[in-house]
Amino acid sequence: MAAIFALATFSLSVQAQNVEAGKKKAEACVACHGPNGNSQAGMFPVLAGQNERYLYLQLRDYKEGRRSNPMMSPVAAGLEKQDMKDLAAYFSKQKQERTGFKPEMTRVEAGAKKAEESLCAMCHLGGMVGQNEIPRLAGQQTDYIITQLKSFKARERTNDAGNMTSLAQTLSEEDMVNLAHWISNLY
């Protein structure tokens, strides 16, 4: 029993160290992703409250070239594995704040219908909270969601094992906008 307690205490201590180390490293992220990862610019994703594993994997994919972005790829190229773990731990522990986007309620309703039809909750779970390597979408920037859906549809973003790429082929631009309004309205 003492060994289990010691292991749990050690694990919590390592987690706290990662979060503190990540906080220092995240200072460079504020310009785009906002204070504590709460982006207020539509083109930059909200990182606060995102799943830790997802954040780590995305940074790794940028570093290794499986995901490409003219701003993020060069940043990730300079990160070591521990840096990525620290940043993921830090941002995952931050409280997500509302973006300030005012969704159109008719689009929210249409997006909810499309999400149900597309079975989004099978991977992203109810409320779009995500799990493990599946991102939390709830409350995400609307413009960012639309951009990512378009990138999947155009096969420009391919680090998803094909699931989102396949789904995006079935979406119209109207569907993408409606889904983005629905997603941004969730918390």
Q: Are 85 and 18 in contact (CB under 8 A)?
A: yes
* Nearest of 168, 171, 169, 88 to residue 136 by alpha carbon: 88
Main-chain dihedrals φ then ψ at residue 79, nearest 5 degrees: -90, 140
CA distances from 187 to 46, 53, 57, 65, 150 (A): 13, 20, 23, 32, 23
Q: Where are the alpha helices (DSSP H) in 40-80?
A: 52-64, 72-77
CA distance 51 to 116: 22
CB atoms within 10 A of CB 143: 17
List, for residues 98-118, the tens digit of each pLDDT value. Answer: 998 999 999 999 999 999 999
* pLDDT tens figures, 126-150: 999 999 999 999 999 999 999 999 9
In angstroms, the CA 29 to CA 177 distance is: 27
What is the per-residue pLDDT across 60-112, written as a single tens digit (0 to 9) for each?
999 999 999 999 999 999 999 999 999 999 999 999 999 989 999 999 999 99
Q: Which amino acid is at 111?
A: G
Are 48 and 96 spatial neighbours (Cβ–Cβ below 8 Å)?
Answer: yes
Read off the pTM: 0.89
